[in-house]
Each structure stands twice: as structure tokens, then as C-alpha cells.
Amino acid sequence: MVVGVWLVGARGSVAVTSVVGALAVRAGLAEPVGMVTEALPLRDAALPSLSDLVFGGHDITAVPLGKKAESLAAAGVLPAGIVASLSAELVALEREVQPLPVGETPWETAGLIAADIARFRERHGLERVVVINVSSTEPAVSDHPAHAELAVLERALQSGEQVLPGSALAAYAAFRAGCAFVDFTPSTGARLPALEELAAREGLPYAGRDGKTGETLVKSVLAPMFAMRNLRVRSWSGTNLLGGGDGANLVDPAANAAKAGSKQRVLKETLGYQPQGHSLIEYVDDIGDFKTAWDLITFTGFLGVGMRMEFSWHGCDSALAAPLVLDLARLVAAAHAAGRSGPLTELAFFFKDPIGEVPHGLADQWALLSRFARELPDA
Amino acid sequence: MVVGVWLVGARGSVAVTSVVGALAVRAGLAEPVGMVTEALPLRDAALPSLSDLVFGGHDITAVPLGKKAESLAAAGVLPAGIVASLSAELVALEREVQPLPVGETPWETAGLIAADIARFRERHGLERVVVINVSSTEPAVSDHPAHAELAVLERALQSGEQVLPGSALAAYAAFRAGCAFVDFTPSTGARLPALEELAAREGLPYAGRDGKTGETLVKSVLAPMFAMRNLRVRSWSGTNLLGGGDGANLVDPAANAAKAGSKQRVLKETLGYQPQGHSLIEYVDDIGDFKTAWDLITFTGFLGVGMRMEFSWHGCDSALAAPLVLDLARLVAAAHAAGRSGPLTELAFFFKDPIGEVPHGLADQWALLSRFARELPDA
Amino acid sequence: MVVGVWLVGARGSVAVTSVVGALAVRAGLAEPVGMVTEALPLRDAALPSLSDLVFGGHDITAVPLGKKAESLAAAGVLPAGIVASLSAELVALEREVQPLPVGETPWETAGLIAADIARFRERHGLERVVVINVSSTEPAVSDHPAHAELAVLERALQSGEQVLPGSALAAYAAFRAGCAFVDFTPSTGARLPALEELAAREGLPYAGRDGKTGETLVKSVLAPMFAMRNLRVRSWSGTNLLGGGDGANLVDPAANAAKAGSKQRVLKETLGYQPQGHSLIEYVDDIGDFKTAWDLITFTGFLGVGMRMEFSWHGCDSALAAPLVLDLARLVAAAHAAGRSGPLTELAFFFKDPIGEVPHGLADQWALLSRFARELPDA
Amino acid sequence: MVVGVWLVGARGSVAVTSVVGALAVRAGLAEPVGMVTEALPLRDAALPSLSDLVFGGHDITAVPLGKKAESLAAAGVLPAGIVASLSAELVALEREVQPLPVGETPWETAGLIAADIARFRERHGLERVVVINVSSTEPAVSDHPAHAELAVLERALQSGEQVLPGSALAAYAAFRAGCAFVDFTPSTGARLPALEELAAREGLPYAGRDGKTGETLVKSVLAPMFAMRNLRVRSWSGTNLLGGGDGANLVDPAANAAKAGSKQRVLKETLGYQPQGHSLIEYVDDIGDFKTAWDLITFTGFLGVGMRMEFSWHGCDSALAAPLVLDLARLVAAAHAAGRSGPLTELAFFFKDPIGEVPHGLADQWALLSRFARELPDA
Ligand SMILES: NC(=O)c1ccc[n+]([C@@H]2O[C@H](COP(=O)([O-])OP(=O)(O)OC[C@H]3O[C@@H](n4cnc5c(N)ncnc54)[C@H](O)[C@@H]3O)[C@@H](O)[C@H]2O)c1
Ligand SMILES: NC(=O)c1ccc[n+]([C@@H]2O[C@H](COP(=O)([O-])OP(=O)(O)OC[C@H]3O[C@@H](n4cnc5c(N)ncnc54)[C@H](O)[C@@H]3O)[C@@H](O)[C@H]2O)c1
Ligand SMILES: NC(=O)c1ccc[n+]([C@@H]2O[C@H](COP(=O)([O-])OP(=O)(O)OC[C@H]3O[C@@H](n4cnc5c(N)ncnc54)[C@H](O)[C@@H]3O)[C@@H](O)[C@H]2O)c1
Ligand SMILES: NC(=O)c1ccc[n+]([C@@H]2O[C@H](COP(=O)([O-])OP(=O)(O)OC[C@H]3O[C@@H](n4cnc5c(N)ncnc54)[C@H](O)[C@@H]3O)[C@@H](O)[C@H]2O)c1
Ligand code: NA
Ligand code: NA
């Protein structure tokens, strides 16, 4: 089952790390460390293999993939040797990564996006394509009546109204092109009633939102620990220092708020109450892709005794995200092939802000994911 | 169902915190924070209630319970107000805490211990008694042929040979008195074939070993997180700084080794391999009961990128242990009442070094415990 | 030499901790830990003794001193036993702590403040009074032409214009009453040309600004370490989590900015350049007076190798501030007695944002302070 | 003034990083970050310049310098580009690095060592040579009567007795060859009365001991901070996790003890008392040269309130040590030229365990060093 992976933001750090990683593992240059679908029990599931993936995408910048890969190597995200070995393949891939098209109206833009994806599918004789949004986080978007109903939305798009942010237009175009969609960012994406209506009508699955790679991942195991032990968490305060493209973008307070919001939700969901404290995001250019998060947790034990825990997480964001992007491409393609449509709540394991009424503790999400993978029909 | 709780080491920090806590919660002076059996889903299980527990025990020191409680209050482990309110009850309890008896032979000592427990049972008309070892950690013990078979063991005890450390003699006496046994310490306790034989013969359940209250608790959720995400843990090094009676005792290298040994086991069991690094225990008198553990974890992500996490845990050891002691008393009493005998592997959740072939990840242990509690028959 | 200490904000945490501490040390109930003037070499300087200090002050709240002391004891800032022992003395002190007076015009208010101080001086036959501002941090104040010249300022005050924030009006009144002034907060205080003019004219000394008790104290030794070793600090990011009255006040972004601003200055001054990064202040009610600061420092060593350091500081703010307030009272009184007027730059050691062209490294400030103390004339 | 730098352990990490760094800075490939003699005020002192240094040395391994440099580059200690640019120069340097000679008796060995150094001096027409010990840390050595007096020592050496460890024999040979000596390790080196006698007789200066690059450096500014503020440090516990050659060597408990011993001394010397706690060193191969140290400090403030600080230091050991080795070569050569002999106590700034009655706080050591440098006569 050859599967297309269409990356929105294909020249960004996460996208290029994903592509270089897939090529490297395929070529035997690296181990698939960090890929959930390459370890037991998911390794035994009926999934397209890594070598079945074909990459393409859109971006608004024209920085060559090879250049981006080299700068990621200089920053310590990618091994320089691997980037050098793959330089020819990266040049060849240039042809599949196109500038984001712009039409007269959003309607027309969506048509152009869908057409690019369709041509990609035909060019490679692909059975199906998974569209994955890994572009820059957008500012939070305000409600609009056109979000509520597909018919109203389409009329607005035709009339030239800018009612959808880029991520949602990408989801709309993906569904129109008959593709599954994955929201790896905290942006709007497919999460509007009108788009859910479209996905349902077209029988297409989607997953999201916001890849869970660092501080929130740790929270999703520590918060359940406090809950299981009936210890009362009083405050949980986090600071995330990060540089890189994603960090620079988050200097915008609106984008920052969108991201910080979803970072405390796991606490409410797993503890059953919201402790005091906030999760701050702070841009520090020098820190680059090697984000540092620090969290302080104060809690009360037996007879009211106060205690504390703190942790620092020094993770390379793109290297944590990329293997999950590949996992998601495989899992969502298999779900699509199996006839699933609508939200894939079983993939909550991968997301900070998962869709639907799902568990927020990592272990429960893992159980859900494992069962989902086990039950996938053989292709 | 009135249940006896016989504490070996009844004048120690954990024991006194457990007793004061039970009395305080019962009297409405404190919330049962930290007690697993007081939160959902275990709150709904068929367990003896907190007010059904009656306390007694042995110790080798004669420090009055009230004195010990006051010194725990001065150290910030117990609230001074609560200790003051309960002073009369603590004085009344003195009568139930006896000096550890010593006979001519270990056989005779065991008989005296069993007799003390039996009298405690009769005095209070108790249906059953759970014996819980919360005495000082013993040095690791070397193997002896008498450990392998009950008949051989009993002959050795009669002949005056010192083949059992105190904790194992306590377990032996508990079984002879028809009581369930809980090993809250890393000492030998019931974990010898000869004692398992005795428990089986008498139809008695037992649980252990070494209450999981701090660094290992955190490990038991973080290590599975790395495993689920297929991230390769390269090293995991821990330092535990602690004072208090338990800390002073661990200055003895042999006792220290017994304890440190079981602290890395969770890694091997949940990761599937043993990363580099050790878990050190260091006595710092000034730190008292407010242990500080610091762990550094180095791990590899996608394409070999090196990352790190560190955490510090500032927990009050006795306040973390005491509610678990009360949970265990209730759960083991219910298991005994339900006719269970042999090792209670479903209680792995509570222990650093659990008995039997059990999961070592906290979430799996939690699932096991929840099912166990749900399936307990109504008394 | 009996000396008056007039506290602006006399019912706040810092003030009450200072007063209780002075009484306790005097009564032999506690050691003067944290007081710089009680250790060598300053212990040998010609300073008024602790028992020579007489306390009074203004506040806008009426919470009794004893009540405040009890709530500080409940929070672990003051030992409950000491508070209990001193309750009669705290009741007696009530008479010296007056509500902040309010006149028709600022001019009149200043007169009423000065009159209260003068009466305090007479009542106790004091040779001199040091006025110390330990009231809530004010929002940063915008410039006004009246700040530049005393004559213009006084006309504005008379005409009823609100050109001075409370802290500056307190300084103005202090100078009018012939008193030295200490700015323990980041508020404006004496730092306006018109007030400096007044201090000079009256021959009065003043010191400030913003007591250096936690994160900045640590920065003032770590930043010089990097400088001395010629290591290049690339980023220095700090997060300060705090509750308590001061924390609640800092939720106001304007007050927060005033405080955060001065926290990075030490880096520029000691390193010679401003590294990336900010110092955040975040209110977490549960944390109370036991502030936690966490800093991440990234730096470059030989041949460009990147390194990092992080620290967490868990300090009790009022307990760190109070002994410095007592030190300052003694030192400033001695300077006044010795005929010093204008800014006491030698006291930079005590402040986050010291007045004048002074060193910002702690060791250099210490050398300055030691010489200053040594050269004080015998009274 | 062309100066020879003779490195004992010339193929080790510190030595090779020093040499590569000197060549790189000289060639304009890197900034002299981390070199104290390249920043103000020492930059203005009368010192031999970096380009005046000529390198040679002894080692017991034959790993080529270029190979070692490449492996340091792979480990992230040296930039790969710089190592590549300097490969020819490293090959040329091979000729200057000789196998450690071994004679029939220690006396003869010392003669051979001295002869190698003398030939190096002649080959390059050097006015003087500074011998710097950067070889593996030795186990602590037990006292011997021959250590006390030069005549006795020389008789013992002649008779074939192994009374000196390698580091001390190197110092002896250095002095016999008329060279100044620097002890960058915690080994014995020149610190025996008999060797001090020899240095004095020959009019030669020496400096040491044990380069101060990480945890102890931080201690040397933090401990004085607590002292200056009259805060009572109750415990100070450190854990040092390190890999690399130096780490592997420290697995030997004897070598470990030698190193750990000197790490707490700074506390006693700067605080005036020894707080509780130890400094542990733990080998973790995976961590390599990027040592992590974690320290927990508990302290008491005003009225006995308990507080804490912790820090983690993630430093690249060789990159921190190498610039200091170059600084020491320049400073000791200048001191020798200026006619200084005996212990150079003014260089305490560089050492964990400095010689003589010197201050242990970094700022005081810095003042001493600055004056020393300022007073060096122009060559
Ligand atoms: N790295 C992680 O751990 C992680 C985790 C969760 C979510 N994310 C999200 O993934 C996204 C990508 O992160 P990154 O680090 O690769 O950022 P990046 O800045 O390196 O890449 C983003 C790319 O998107 C492109 N882009 C911007 N607007 C676009 C548009 N309208 N259409 C198409 N392309 C567009 C940019 O040109 C850029 O190449 C961000 O939204 C981030 O929040 C990342
Ligand atoms: N506190 C925790 O978080 C925790 C967690 C796991 C295990 N434990 C274990 O619990 C035990 C108790 O810890 P603690 O902090 O209360 O220690 P403690 O030193 O305060 O108390 C131990 C008590 O046992 C008594 N004792 C010693 N030998 C005895 C014997 N042979 N028979 C009867 N009593 C004896 C001592 O006199 C003392 O009163 C230790 O073994 C400890 O390792 C504690
Ligand atoms: N605690 C520290 O470590 C530290 C360090 C540096 C600076 N400071 C500063 O010291 C000040 C006091 O801190 P705190 O923790 O005691 O705060 P707090 O809130 O406990 O006390 C402030 C007191 O000032 C009173 N007040 C407010 N406005 C007033 C006015 N106009 N005139 C007179 N009184 C007034 C309040 O009623 C309150 O009693 C703050 O400005 C804080 O920023 C504290
Ligand atoms: N790196 C730092 O931050 C630092 C700080 C203080 C002290 N030191 C000390 O510097 C020394 C070197 O550290 P490193 O990391 O370079 O270690 P390393 O193991 O990389 O190098 C030591 C070298 O010494 C050689 N050697 C061993 N015995 C010898 C002998 N008798 N004569 C000559 N050469 C011999 C070894 O073959 C090796 O090449 C150690 O003693 C270490 O404790 C290092
Ligand atoms: Na920390
Ligand atoms: Na840390």
C-alpha cells in the first residue's frame, strides 16, 4: 500500500526532520528510535511500511530542503553525515514541494491546493494521501457563523470572505481532495463543525491536535501518578524556553496563548480539578530547537504536609515530533483504508489537545492506541 | 468487620504517622489525602472502614507514642494541633504496644510474639489481624539451607540457630498466629520458600516488598513513558539524600545496598533493558524526613539526538508511607476475609520490589489493583 | 544612641518579620542569623545596637501586628513559639503604628506624615529616625516636570496635584522631618531630582533600591563568576513563582514590570553585555512566602562549546528581607550620625537596583560595605 | 619570549583540547573564550603571547593526536571543522610528544624525563619550559620518610625504591631540568617537602593543585555569598556524574577519594565551618565529557527558617580546563622570568585545592591574581 504524505509547511523543521528521518531509516542509516509504530506492540499492526511513504507538500518559503537540512545539522538536530548522504534525494524531492497557491477567493485557493494534492496522487499512482499540517502556529481565530455549517461556509469562501485561517483552509482542501487530515499544530485545522460535516459526508478520517512532545508528555504521566496516589496537587507552574522557527512565531502573544492554553488542560482532565499555576512560553533565540521546560509542582500529602517536585526537560523538539509525524501518517492511512471516518479519537496518545471525550493520561491513551492498532484489518 | 493492625516497629516514624493519621481522619480532623482506598474507584470496594481498625504492635525502643508524635510534629511531619488533640488517645494506645519479646531460642521468641498477637486479638474480639513490618531496614541476609523448607527451618529455630533475621521471624510468628503479613520494608520478611510454604499451609495471604513512596514511584511512570514513546534511555542516575531514623540506619552499607538494589529494578522491568547509572542513598541528618531525590536521565531520540531530563523530588517520607500502610491493612484484611492465600501480586502498586511476575509500570499496577478491589466480595 | 525605625507599610510581612525578629534576638530567643551587621567584620563597626532600635510606622491596613505575626507563624515564616512569647510586646507596639494620614492636598498629607514621625521622635526622645519603605510595590510612574526641581514640586503639591506616588511622598515627608530614608522596594521613593535636592539641602542620607534577597542575590555572584572566567553567557532566563501579599500585588502587570526590570540589570553591569532572556514573575497563591526562582543560563566556553547551568532557589522572602531591614536601619543611622548626606552608594550590597555608579558584583559591593563600616567614626 | 609547554599526559583530553585550542585561536579560527589571560585586566599584563607557546610532552598511550582530536570532535568537545583545518599541524606535533621513558631505577627514569625536556628546549631554542601535569589522576599515596627531605629522597630513588608516584617523579624531573611545574590534577605532584626543597634550591616556581572547572568553581562563589549574608549553611551535598577517560579512572575508589576530598574543602575555608554532606563522584560512561553536577544546599535564615537551593551544572570538562592550562602556562612562565620561586599562591584562582594560606572565595582569589598580573615586570 503506497501512501502519500502531504506536508503543509514542508520546508519547516518538523517536516524536514520527518522526511530526512524516513529516508535515513529506510536506507539503514539510522534506527527508528522514537517511532511508536516501530516498537512492540504496534510494530505488528497492519500498517503501510516506512518505505511505502511518498512525500510532498506546500510551503510559503522557498528555502531548499537541502539547505534547511544542513542548518538543522548545524544546530545538532540532524546528524551531518546523514544529511550529506541524502543530499541527492533531497534535491530530487524539491519537485514535490510546491509554493502554497493563492487564488482570487479562498474557494479558488482551496481548489488550487486540492489540485496540487490530486496531481501528486496521480503522479505517484497513490491509493491515498494523508495531509499533515506542520506549518507555523496561527493566532487563535474568533468564531464566525460560517464555521457552523458547510453550505454557509462554502458560500462565504466563494464570495471571497476570509473566514478560514490557513490551517482550516488546508483541511477543507484536503477533504475536498478526498484525503485524511492530521493537525499536528494547535491551529484550527479541521476542528470546525462545517469541516467535520464535510469529513463525515466524504467518509474521511482526521486526527489532532498539537503533537505532544515535551512538557505535556511528562505531565500526562505525572498528573495521573498524583491522581492514582490521591495526592492533592496544589499548583503546577511551567516555563518553556525555546528558540527556533516555532519559538520565534510564539513571541506573538496570540499564537502563544493558543499554545499555552492547551498545555494545562491535561491537569484538569486527569486530576479532576484545576490546580493553580500557568504554563509560560518564552522565546530565547539562543536555545534553538533544544527546548528547556521547567515545572514546579506543589502538592499536599497525608495530614496536609506540603511537598514539591520539579523537573527540567531538555528535548530537541523537531527530533521528538518527526517520528510521531511518520507514525501518524501510517496509522491514519491504515484507518482510512479500513473505512474509518470522522475523528480518530484512538490517536489521543499523540496529541496535547486530543479530539473528543478521551482519556488524557498517557497510559490510558496507550491502551486505546494499542487496541486500535491490533484491530486494524490486514490490508 | 473490626480488624487488628499489628505494627512491627510500632514506635517508628511510619508507624506513628499511620496511627495518628488514622485517628485524625476518623475524628474528622484531617482529610484522607494520600490514601488510595479513600478515592475512587477503591472507595467503593468492600473494605473494612478506617474506624474498624484497631492498632497494636512491637518495638525495641520504649519512646512513648506521644513523645514520638511530638517530635514528628516538631519536624513538620505531623500537624502540632492534631497531635495535641490526640494526646489522650495516644496514651491509651501505649498498652497495646509491647516490647519485642526474647525467648531462649528463636522458636521460643516466635512463640512469644505469636502469643502477644493472639492476646491482642482476643482482648479486642478481632476477627483477624494483619501484621505489618515497618521496623528498621535490616542488612541483606545470606542464604541458609534452612530457608528452603519449613520442617528444616523449624528444627533450626528449635535448636537455637539464628537462621532468620527479625523481619522473617516476625513473618513466621504472624503466620503461626494465623495472621496475614505485609512487608513494608526491603528486609527479608516472608520471602523465603519455607515461609511461603507455611503461609500456603495455613491459607494466609501476604504482600510486599518495600513501600513505594518517592523516587521509585516517579520512575514507575516516567520509565513507561520512555518505553511507550520508543525513546532509548541511556543512563538513569539517582541520588537520594535523607535523614531521619531510616536514613541513619542506611549509613550501614549493607542496609543501603539492600535498599538501593531494588530501586533500579523498575527500569529493567519497564524498559526491557538496564540503562547505565546507579541509585545512590546518602545520609544527611539535617534533611530529616523531607527526603530529596534527584535523578538525571539521558536518552536518545530520532536519528540519535541526545536529550536529558532531570527531576527533584522533595517528599516527606513518613507522610507518603503512612496512608499506604492504612490502605494495605484494609486491602489485605479484605483479601484474607475473601479466602485468598499466598502472595497478593495485585498489590504491586504499593511496592518498590513487588512479589511475583507482575507489571512494574504504575498504570498497569493500578489496573490490576482496581480490578482486584472491584472483585472483592461484599463482606 | 537610641534610634527610631519608622516603617512605611508597618503591618506587612517584611515589617512584622523585622520587628518580631529584633524583639526575639534582643530577648535571646533567636540568633541573629541573616543579619550582616551581626557577623564579622561588620559586628565590630560603630553601629547602634539592636536593642537601641525603637519601632513605629504607617500602614493603610488595620490588621493588628499580633494577628499578622500569627498568620506568618502559620505560614512557617515565624516560629509559633516566638510569636506567642512576644504577644504582649506586639500589643504594646500597636500604639506606634498609625493609619497613613490623608490631607486635602499632597502637601498637607506630607505635613501630617512628618508630624507623626516627629511626635514619634519626641515621644521616645530619639536622636534620629530612619524611615524605611517596606510598603507594597507601586506601578511604575511616568515622568512629570515637577520631579525635576524642588520648588516646582512643592508648588504642585500645594496646588493639590497628584504628582508623587506614595513612596515618593513618604520620602519627601521623611526629609521634611529631618530623617534619613531607605527604599527597600522598587518603587520611586527618593529617586527624583527634586527629592535629591531636598536631601542635599537638609544634609540627609538615603539608600536604596529594592532589597536583594533571592534570585538577584545569586545572580550577583554567578554573573561575576562567568565574567572572571571569560565565559560567554548567551542567555539567562528566570522564572519567579511567589504568593503572599507581595506576589498578589505583582499580578498587576505594571508593578510586575517595575520589579522584573531591575532583575536583569545586574547581568549587563557585571558581564558588560546583556545576554538574551527575561526574568518572569508569576503569582502562585499556594506558594506563599516561600518563593521559588528557577534560572537557566546557557553559556559558551572554549572553541564555542555550549554549556548550561540551572538553579532553583527556595527562599522565604520575608525571612531573607527582615534582617537586611535591621542592618540598614543601623548602618543608615550611623551614616547620618557621622554627617553623611546624599546617596549612600556604599550600601549597594543590599539592593537589586543600587543607586549611583557602583559595582554590581556582590564581592565588590561587600568590599565597599566593609570599608564603609570600618571607617565609621566611633559614636 | 618563546616558551615551551611540556604536557605530562599530552595525548589526553585536556592536553589535546589545550593544544588544538591554542592553534585555533592563533590561526584566527576561534575566539579565546574561557581564557582568563585574554580578557581584561589580565590581557594587559606582561605575559608571553599565545603564539609564543611551543608544545611537547609525554604520554603512556600512543594514540595519535589527530585521532584523539577527531574523537573529541565526535563527542562535541572540539568543532569538527577546526580539527580538520589543523590536521597537518597535529601530525607535525607528533614528533614532540614522546612515550614516557622508563629507566632501571626511578632515579634513572627521572634523568630520562629531564633529558627529553632538555632536548625539547634546545630543539626550539626556548628560554624556559613550563611542565604541566594533565595526566590521569593517581590513587592517593601514603606517606614515606623519603618525602620529607631531598637527600633522603634522592638516595631512595637511586636505590630503586618506588617512593614517588608518577606525578611527583614528573615534578622532580621538571625541577632537575630547571623548569617550573604546574599540577593541574589532584595527584601528589610537587607537594612534598623534599620537592619543595628542590624547587627552592633551584629557584623555580610551581603552582597547583587540581584545576577548578565545575562544581567547585560554583561553590567558590556561592559559599562566600552565604557567608557574606550571614546565612547558616546546614548541608551541602553534591553528585558529579561524568564519563570520559577521567571518569573511568575515578571508578577506582582510591582515585575517587583523592578527588572528592578536595571538593568540600572550599566550604570549610569560606564558611568557617564544615556543613553536613558529601561530594560524590559517579562514573556514567554515556555522559562522556559533558559532566553533570547537582548540588543541594540547605540553609537557615532569620529566626531559624529553613531554605534550600539546588543547582545543576552541565559543563564540558575539557573545554573548561584547556583555556586555564594555557593561562597557567603564560602566567607561570612570566613568574619564572620575573625571578619568582616556590609556590605561586597568587594562582589559587585556578585550583580546587590551592597551595598555601590563601583565600578560597573566588572573588578574593581574583583580586590576588589581578594584582599579581599587574605587578609582573615588563619582559
Ligand atoms: N516540534 C515540536 O515538538 C512540535 C510539537 C507540537 C506542535 N508543533 C507544531 O508544528 C509546527 C511546525 O513547527 P516547526 O518547528 O517545524 O516550525 P518551523 O517554523 O520550522 O516550520 C513551519 C513551516 O511552516 C511554513 N508555513 C508558514 N505558514 C504556512 C502556510 N500558511 N502554509 C504552508 N506553510 C506555511 C513556514 O514557512 C515554515 O517552513 C508548529 O505549528 C509547531 O507549533 C511542533
Ligand atoms: N517512609 C517511607 O517512605 C518508607 C518507604 C519504604 C519503606 N520504608 C521502610 O519502613 C521502615 C520504617 O521506616 P521509619 O522511617 O519509620 O524508620 P524509624 O527508624 O523511624 O522506625 C523504625 C522502628 O523500628 C524499630 N525496630 C527496629 N528493629 C526492630 C525489631 N527487630 N522489631 C521491632 N521493632 C524494631 C525501631 O526501634 C524504630 O522505632 C524502614 O525499614 C524503611 O526502610 C519506609
Ligand atoms: N520580601 C522580600 O524579599 C523583598 C525583597 C525586596 C523588596 N521587597 C519589597 O518589600 C515590600 C513589602 O513586601 P511584603 O512582602 O512585606 O508585602 P506585604 O504586602 O506583606 O506588605 C506591604 C504592606 O504595605 C502596606 N501598604 C500598602 N500601601 C501603603 C502605603 N501607601 N502606605 C503605607 N503602607 C502601605 C500594606 O497594607 C501592607 O501591610 C514590597 O514592595 C516588596 O516588593 C520585598
Ligand atoms: N577536565 C577537567 O575539567 C579537569 C579539571 C581538573 C583536573 N583535571 C585532571 O586533568 C587530568 C587529565 O584529565 P583528562 O580528562 O585529560 O583525562 P584523560 O584520561 O583524557 O587523559 C589523561 C592522559 O594521561 C595519560 N597518562 C596516564 N598516566 C600517565 C603517566 N604516568 N605519564 C604520562 N601520561 C600519563 C593517559 O594516557 C591519558 O592520555 C586528570 O587527572 C583530571 O582529574 C581535569
Ligand atoms: Na532542579
Ligand atoms: Na534542576
B273 touching A (Cβ < 8 Å)? no
CA B215, CA B279: separation in Å to the nearest integer? 9
**Residue A240 CA to chain centroid, in angstroms?**
18
CA C268 / ligand 3 centre spacing (Å): 27
| C-alpha dihedral sign at C244, C246, C250, C251 | positive
The answer to whether residue B129 sits within a structural domain is yes
- The whole-number average pLDDT for the span B46-67 is 97
D88: Cβ–Cβ under 8 A, 6 or more apart, which residues?
A: none
- The whole-number average pLDDT for the span D350-372 is 95
| Whether residues A248 and A323 fall in one domain | no
- The whole-number average pLDDT for the span B118-125 is 97
- The whole-number average pLDDT for the span A42-51 is 93
pLDDT tops 80 at residue B72: yes
Chain B hits for D244, CB-CB cut-off 8 Å, are none
CATH classification at residue B234: 3.30.360.10
- The whole-number average pLDDT for the span A7-21 is 98
- The whole-number average pLDDT for the span D100-104 is 97
pLDDT value of position A246? 66
The answer to whether residue C268 sits within a structural domain is yes
CA C240 / ligand 6 centre spacing (Å): 15
The answer to whether residue D379 sits within a structural domain is no
| Whether residues B364 and B307 fall in one domain | no
Per cent of chain A over pLDDT 90 is 87
Q: Which chains touch C (3 or more CB pairs under 8 A)?
A: A, D
| Whether residues D253 and D172 fall in one domain | no
Domain boundary among A300, A315, A330: A315
Residue having the nearest C-alpha atom to atom 9 of ligand 2: B185
Yes or no: say if D147 and D153 are a contact pair by the CB < 8 Å rule: yes
Chain B hits for A222, CB-CB cut-off 8 Å, are 218, 221-222
Of the listed ligands, the closest to the CA of B209 is: 2
| Whether residues B230 and B365 fall in one domain | no
Only one residue has cell 575555608, namely D269
Nearest residue, CB atoms, B228 vs list A225, A322, A366? A366
CATH classification at residue C325: 3.40.50.720
The model's pLDDT over A113-163, given as tens digits with 9 standing for 90+, comes to 999 999 999 999 999 999 999 999 998 889 999 999 999 999 999 999 999
Cα of first residue to Cα of last residue in chain A, in angstroms, is: 8
CA C111 / ligand 3 centre spacing (Å): 23
Chain A hits for C277, CB-CB cut-off 8 Å, are 241, 282, 284
CB of D365 closer than 6 angstroms to any ligand 4 atom: no
What pairing do the DSSP bridges indicate for beta strands A306-316 and A290-300? Answer: antiparallel
- pLDDT 10s per residue in chain C (379 long)? 799 999 999 999 999 999 999 999 999 999 999 999 999 899 999 999 999 999 999 999 999 999 999 999 999 999 999 999 999 999 999 999 999 999 999 999 999 999 999 999 999 999 999 999 999 999 888 999 999 999 999 999 999 999 999 999 999 999 999 999 999 999 999 999 999 999 999 999 999 999 999 899 999 999 999 999 999 999 999 999 988 766 677 666 666 666 666 677 899 999 999 999 998 888 898 888 889 999 999 999 999 999 999 999 999 999 999 999 999 999 999 999 999 999 999 999 999 999 999 999 999 999 999 999 999 998 6
CB of A243 closer than 6 angstroms to any ligand 1 atom: no
**CA-to-CA separations, C195 to C30, C146, C171, C190, C338, in angstroms, rounded:** 38, 10, 8, 6, 21
CA A5, CA A19: separation in Å to the nearest integer? 10
pLDDT value of position D250? 67
B99: Cβ–Cβ under 8 A, 6 or more apart, which residues?
A: B58, B59, B60, B62
- The whole-number average pLDDT for the span D363-375 is 95
Chain-chain contact of D239 with B234 (C-beta, under 8 angstroms): no
pLDDT tops 70 at residue A257: no
The model's pLDDT over D5-58, given as tens digits with 9 standing for 90+, comes to 999 999 999 999 999 999 999 999 999 999 999 998 999 999 999 999 999 999
Q: How confident is the model at residue D60 (pLDDT cuts 50, 70, 90)?
A: very high
pLDDT tops 90 at residue B273: yes
Cell of B175: 503466620
- To the nearest 10°, report the CA torsion of A352, A355, A357, A358: -50
pLDDT value of position A85? 96
pLDDT value of position D140? 84
> Which C residues in the span 48-107 are in contact with D, Cβ-Cβ below 8 Å?
76-79, 82
Chain D hits for B285, CB-CB cut-off 8 Å, are 235, 276
Chain A hits for B77, CB-CB cut-off 8 Å, are 305
What pairing do the DSSP bridges indicate for beta strands D342-343 and D290-300? Answer: unpaired
Helix (H, G, I), strand (E, B) or coil at B197: helix
pLDDT value of position A258? 63
Only one residue has cell 512463640, namely B111
Name the closest residue on chain B to residue D299, using Cα atoms: B286
Nearest residue, CB atoms, D235 vs list B286, B298, B312? B286
Helix (H, G, I), strand (E, B) or coil at D203: coil
pLDDT value of position B332? 98
Cα of first residue to Cα of last residue in chain C, in angstroms, is: 8
Yes or no: say if A169 and A103 are a contact pair by the CB < 8 Å rule: no
CA C293, CA C300: separation in Å to the nearest integer? 23
CB of A13 closer than 6 angstroms to any ligand 1 atom: yes
- The whole-number average pLDDT for the span D138-142 is 88
pLDDT tops 70 at residue A369: yes
| Whether residues B235 and B87 fall in one domain | no
| Whether residues A149 and A20 fall in one domain | yes
Domain boundary among C300, C315, C330: C315
* pTM of the shown model: 0.94
| Whether residues D198 and D95 fall in one domain | yes
| Whether residues C219 and C199 fall in one domain | no
pLDDT value of position D379? 62
The model's pLDDT over D217-226, given as tens digits with 9 standing for 90+, comes to 999 999 999 9
Coarse DSSP helix, strand, coil percentages of chain D, rounded to the nearest 5 percent: 50, 20, 30
User: ω before D253 within 30° of 0 (cis)?
Assistant: no
| Whether residues A82 and A201 fall in one domain | yes
pLDDT tops 70 at residue A255: no
| Whether residues D21 and D119 fall in one domain | yes
pLDDT value of position A265? 85
Chain-chain contact of D287 with B235 (C-beta, under 8 angstroms): yes
pLDDT value of position A252? 66
CA B239, CA B313: separation in Å to the nearest integer? 10
Domain boundary among A275, A292, A315: A315
- The whole-number average pLDDT for the span A28-57 is 95
CA D163, CA C45: separation in Å to the nearest integer? 53
- The whole-number average pLDDT for the span B192-205 is 98
pLDDT value of position C141? 87
pLDDT value of position D265? 85
- The whole-number average pLDDT for the span D144-156 is 97
The answer to whether residue C176 sits within a structural domain is yes
Cell of C250: 505583582
Identify the bridge partners of residue C208 per DSSP, sorted by sequence position: C183
Position A216, amino acid = T
| Whether residues B107 and B148 fall in one domain | yes
pLDDT tops 90 at residue A263: no
The answer to whether residue B379 sits within a structural domain is no
Q: How confident is the model at residue B243 (pLDDT cuts 50, 70, 90)?
A: confident
Yes or no: say if D254 and D137 are a contact pair by the CB < 8 Å rule: no
Average pLDDT, chain B: 94
CB of C135 closer than 6 angstroms to any ligand 3 atom: yes
pLDDT value of position C202? 97
Helix (H, G, I), strand (E, B) or coil at C292: strand
CB-neighbour burial class of residue A34 (10 A; exposed 0-12, middle 13-18, buried 19+): buried
pLDDT value of position A264? 78
The answer to whether residue C379 sits within a structural domain is no
pLDDT value of position C34? 96
- A294/C253: higher pLDDT: A294
Q: How many domains, chain A?
A: 2
| Whether residues A24 and A123 fall in one domain | yes
Yes or no: say if D175 and D201 are a contact pair by the CB < 8 Å rule: no
pLDDT value of position C261? 67
CA B136 / ligand 2 centre spacing (Å): 3
pLDDT value of position D287? 86
B305 touching D (Cβ < 8 Å)? no
The answer to whether residue D123 sits within a structural domain is yes
pLDDT value of position C257? 67
The answer to whether residue D281 sits within a structural domain is yes
Query: Domain range for residue B65?
Result: 3-211+319-374
CB of C315 closer than 6 angstroms to any ligand 3 atom: no
Out of C13, C14, C61, mutate this one to test ligand 3's pocket (max ligand atoms within 8 Å of CB): namely: C14
pLDDT value of position B1? 75
pLDDT tops 70 at residue A50: yes
Of the listed ligands, the closest to the CA of C8 is: 3
Q: How confident is the model at residue D258 (pLDDT cuts 50, 70, 90)?
A: low
pLDDT value of position B245? 67
